[in-house]
């Protein structure tokens, strides 16, 4: 039997009729760019996250870039982000002219450690070379970062908070999504994400009207926004008045139509992911070196189910021999990546990120992982510890 790490076809089997109909509806409509499904999806995403505004864009990396620019981040600024994440979290920072400052993570949640964030901000301020300006926190593996604490620290120092929810869309703290605390949040619809489309896609969502207006403009070549044309005599389309240097970063109408169908079943899929995670934890707690820790009041969307194993290479080979795929997210923390060589601050130690990068390994996880198949995964893990 072959076991999928993420089984996208199982989801397709559930809603393929609806998705195929949605795709052909767009093909027939001819409204391929910014067609009605894009606006409809944005409205539903805002509703789902409780944010006042949501804007779809080309991918989750662009979403972060748009968010940084909309907050006015640029030359001479320091943007703090975790050292243990996918490179896309930090990648847009240097493109704005700002400098990423990496911060170590909490050893149980793998998310940004608020106390270490506080210390890093103070160290950068004391050094006086960069202006502490913003924080990007990440919902790694699906669990929200500690937004209440992170935003309190950010506020204390006058910084703004971006929530990188590429892996954590739908994750909540006491029932509330990241924008209850963060100035702006972003997500990715890369196919393997908890809410994925059939290609690249992303979104920015926020409660701040000022940020919303700039994001909407920037993703569409810096088109004039409402306040740009207030008090102006204007007799042509605002998209042909370009008030800021922007991008072309839009979500295709076809992808929005697909996402509308997927968003309809997303709450049910989040429940199912939580059931799968609970079954793993019941079987593997106290067997492997660590099972995931979810903080009280937090709900993960389980982009990954990640355990820790000291003899990881041997473990992965053992699982592979039994037909079980595993993945390592992430084998190299960002402060050790060659592309960030010049930007590593001497502000902190990264011992937790470095240790975790050597021991984490993710098991198959998706909403359609049935109990029998999951039993084979669990048995393969247990047999590693018996041998």
The stretch among 55-63, 204-212, 255-263, 294-302 that binds ligand PLP (CB under 6 A) is 55-63
Calpha distance 139→209 (Å, rounded):
24
Calpha distance 19→11 (Å, rounded):
11
The stretch among 31-39, 59-67, 103-111, 141-149 that binds ligand PLP (CB under 6 A) is 59-67
Q: Output 188 or 291, the one with its CB closest to ligand PLP.
A: 188
- Check residue 89 for interaction with ligand PLP (CB under 6 A): yes
Size of the site for ligand PLP (CB under 6 A): 15
CA-to-CA dists, residue 15 to 20, 35, 160, angstroms: 9, 22, 39
- Check residue 112 for interaction with ligand PLP (CB under 6 A): no
Site for ligand PLP in 246-305 (CB under 6 A): none
- Check residue 190 for interaction with ligand PLP (CB under 6 A): yes
- Check residue 85 for interaction with ligand PLP (CB under 6 A): yes
Calpha distance 378→358 (Å, rounded):
21
Q: Output 113 or 228, the one with its CB closest to ligand PLP.
A: 113
SS (H, E, C) 215-283: HHHHCECCECCHHHHCCCCCCCCHHHCECCCCCECCCEHHHHHHHHHHHHHHHHHHHHHHHHHHHHHHH
Calpha distance 2→324 (Å, rounded):
7
Please enumerate in sequence order all residues whose Cβ is within 8 A of that of 377, keeping only pairs 6 or more positions apart, or say none. 3, 280, 324, 363, 364, 369
Q: Output 241 or 327, the one with its CB closest to ligand PLP.
A: 327
Q: Output 3 or 56, the one with its CB closest to ligand PLP.
A: 56
Least distance from ligand PLP to the Cβ atom of residue 233, Å? 40
Site for ligand PLP in 215-244 (CB under 6 A): none
- Out of 37, 60, 171, 367, which residue is the one contacting ligand PLP (CB under 6 A)? 60
Calpha distance 53→382 (Å, rounded):
46
DSSP 3-state of 85: coil
Site string for ligand PLP, 154-183 (x = CB under 6 A): ----------x-xx----------------
DSSP 3-state of 73: coil
Least distance from ligand PLP to the Cβ atom of residue 303, Å? 8
Q: Give the residues lining the site for ligand PLP (CB under 6 A).
A: 59-61, 85-86, 88-89, 138, 164, 166-167, 188, 190, 200, 202
């Amino acid at each position: 039997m072959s076991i999928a790490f993420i089984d996208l076809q199982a989801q397709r089997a559930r809603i393929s009729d609806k998705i195929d109909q949605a795709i052909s509806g767009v093909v027939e409509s001819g409204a391929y760019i910014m067609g009605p499904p894009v606006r409809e999806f944005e409205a539903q995403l805002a509703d789902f996250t409780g944010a006042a505004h949501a804007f779809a864009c080309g991918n989750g990396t662009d979403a972060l870039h748009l968010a940084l620019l909309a907050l006015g981040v640029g030359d001479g600024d320091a943007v703090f982000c975790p050292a243990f994440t996918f490179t896309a979290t930090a990648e847009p920072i240097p493109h704005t002219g700002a400098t990423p400052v990496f911060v170590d993570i909490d050893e149980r949640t793998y998310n940004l450690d608020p106390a270490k964030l506080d210390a890093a901000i103070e160290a950068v301020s004391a050094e006086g070379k960069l202006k502490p300006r913003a924080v990007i926190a990440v919902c790694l593996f699906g669990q929200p970062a500690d937004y209440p604490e992170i935003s309190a620290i950010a506020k204390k120092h006058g910084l703004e908070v971006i929530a990188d929810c590429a892996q954590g869309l739908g994750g909540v703290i006491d029932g509330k999504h990241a924008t209850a605390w963060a100035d702006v949040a972003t997500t990715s619809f890369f196919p393997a994400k908890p809410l994925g489309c059939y290609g690249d896609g992303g979104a920015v969502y926020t409660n701040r009207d000022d940020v919303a207006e700039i994001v909407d403009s920037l993703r569409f070549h810096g088109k004039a926004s409402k306040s740009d044309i207030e008090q102006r005599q204007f007799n042509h389309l605002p998209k042909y008045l370009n008030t800021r240097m922007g991008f072309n970063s839009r979500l295709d109408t076809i992808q929005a139509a697909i996402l509308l169908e997927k968003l309809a079943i997303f709450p049910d899929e989040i429940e199912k992911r939580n059931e799968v995670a609970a079954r793993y934890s019941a079987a593997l707690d106290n067997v492997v070196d660590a099972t995931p820790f979810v903080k009280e009041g937090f709900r993960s969307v389980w982009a990954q189910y990640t355990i820790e194993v000291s003899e990881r290479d041997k473990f992965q080979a053992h699982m592979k021999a039994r037909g079980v795929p595993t993945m390592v997210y992430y084998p190299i923390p960002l402060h050790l990546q060659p592309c960030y060589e010049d930007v590593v601050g001497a502000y902190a130690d990264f011992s937790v990120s470095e240790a975790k990068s050597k021991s984490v390994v993710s098991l198959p996880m998706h909403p359609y992982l049935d109990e029998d198949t999951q039993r084979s995964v669990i048995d393969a893990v247990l047999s590693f510890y018996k041998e």
